[in-house]
């Protein structure tokens, strides 16, 4: 398990460096229709990944991304929420690598709904890790934010704890 910052250059460089390791792999992107998740999917399409699973809870965004990306046969769209353990188990079957980008990431949303941030960013991440362990996933890459360093708001605190959950699982 590895946590990386969401700064665009960081994950772009990471994906380019890791491209060979994606050859013939099944990759799942949680939050795959979000701003960062969808860009990860676009970059994954440049790789030789065998299958790319896009996991998100937003049917409309999946429809829009499908229209944008066209009919690449490697793409699989899965409706689901990282809060739902049973759906996570289904989505993770046969997966080699997970990019965990699902999150509540807007500071005002998390300030007004702090426990929703806990349920998604912390408990949801634990569900991702549990599903990965149960399904023998080889790598989980958790995306974080600069707001997790010295957090002063609910979003930053929840993402800092997400990092702690992932790091503890990696030990």
By annotation, the residues acting in catalysis are 147
Q: What angle do CA 126, 55, 163 make, to 5 degrees?
A: 30
Helix 85-92, helix 124-134: angle, nearest 10 = 40
Residue 64 and residue 10: Cα distance in Å, rounded?
26
Residue 10 and residue 39: Cα distance in Å, rounded?
13
Q: Which two tokens stand for residue 48?
A: 């030789």
Q: Where are the alpha helices (DSSP H) in the chain?
A: 8-18, 35-44, 59-69, 85-92, 107-112, 114-117, 124-134, 154-170
């Amino acid at each position: 398990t590895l946590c990386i910052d969401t700064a665009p250059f960081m994950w772009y460089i990471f994906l380019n460096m890791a491209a060979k390791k994606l050859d013939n792999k099944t990759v799942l992107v949680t939050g795959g229709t979000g701003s960062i998740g969808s860009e990860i999917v676009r970059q994954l399409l440049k790789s030789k990944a065998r299958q790319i699973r896009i996991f998100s809870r937003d049917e409309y965004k999946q429809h829009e991304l499908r229209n944008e990306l066209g009919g690449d046969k490697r793409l699989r769209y899965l409706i689901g929420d990282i809060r739902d353990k049973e759906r996570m188990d289904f989505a993770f079957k046969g997966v080699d690598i997970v990019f965990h980008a699902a999150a509540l990431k807007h500071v005002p949303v998390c300030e007004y709904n702090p426990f929703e941030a806990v349920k998604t960013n912390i408990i949801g991440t634990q569900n991702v890790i549990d599903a990965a362990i149960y399904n023998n996933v080889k790598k989980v890459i958790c995306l974080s934010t600069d707001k997790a360093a010295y957090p002063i708001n609910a979003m930053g605190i929840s993402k800092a704890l997400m990092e702690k959950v992932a790091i503890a699982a990696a030990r």
